[in-house]
Amino acid sequence: MTDSPSRPEVPSNETAAPAASTALVPGAIERDPAIVRTRVTCALLYFAARQVPVPLLDDVLRTQVAAYLVKSSVKRAGLSVPNDQLAPLFEKDQHWAVGCLWWMFKLPFKILLFPIRKIANVLFAVRHLGKDFAEMLLLGEVIDRAVANGDLKAEGMASEDAQVARSRRYRRAFDRALADTDTALLWGIVGVAIGPVRGVLSAGMRGLRALWHGSGEDAVGASPEMDAKVSRIETILMQPEVKTFLADFDRRFETVLRETT
């Protein structure tokens, strides 16, 4: 992994947060099994939510999974950050008014095209699995980077507007870096580890229901079927090819982040 850049200067209207002894750094999944388990579980749930046969609910559940990953990563870093300041990291419609208008515009098309989308999801399931798995795994890496850079601050250590702006900046950089990332590597190795992709939906239903009903954190991964799939995937993340994949993304993201305002 590339070394973390120097901590940026804190504007005069903010107070620098003390360094947390549990602060994460990119690549920390190698050293913390709990991080591995959470992110692999979220990746599988993110993919499972894509297959939910209810229009619009699939998108809502995918957003909830991404939110859970972001919040759990921040919590593990020892930080308490209000949800609204983290929202730009997991919500793609960052501006409420614009998001509502865009949602109203695309709603009829999403319902009309829903059967076609589901057929496509089945036909390209393995490719989608690789893409979804990469997105959740790399989003976790980005949260680690934001903590390491000092750009995620505990509540009261930065103004709300400043924290929201930083979260949006990281999300924009993440989307750009992800778009330039070839996820083909994960199509094969993850697919082989979990077996038939149709089994991910049944294994993930309990976790998706837990997120939907706002159940406790332990319920998200509390499924014997999901636990078995996660266990098979955990060892994959230690392979040299995956470490190289993460290192390449980290360098790409840092380059894009410096260019993003």
pLDDT averaged per 10 residues in sequence order, the chain, 261 residues: 42 40 45 81 89 80 93 89 93 53 53 54 63 91 90 86 94 94 81 70 79 69 74 81 88 93 81
Instruction: Give the side-chain half-sphere CA count within 13 A for 98.
Output: 5
Q: Give the model's pLDDT for residue 116.
A: 56
Instruction: Give the side-chain half-sphere CA count within 13 A for 157.
Output: 15
Q: Give the model's pLDDT for residue 100.
A: 47
Q: Tell me the two tokens of residue 19.
A: 């360094």
Is residue 115 within 8 A of residue 55, CB to CB? The reply is no
Q: Tell me the two tokens of residue 61.
A: 């559940």
Distance CA 259, CA 146 (A): 15
Q: Tell me the two tokens of residue 208.
A: 């998706």
Instruction: Give the side-chain half-sphere CA count within 13 A for 9.
Output: 3
Is residue 144 within 8 A of residue 25, CB to CB? The reply is yes
Global pTM value:
0.77
Q: Structural domain boundaries of the chain?
A: 29-259
Distance CA 131, CA 182 (A): 9
Q: Give the model's pLDDT for residue 157.
A: 84
Q: Give the model's pLDDT for residue 70.
A: 94
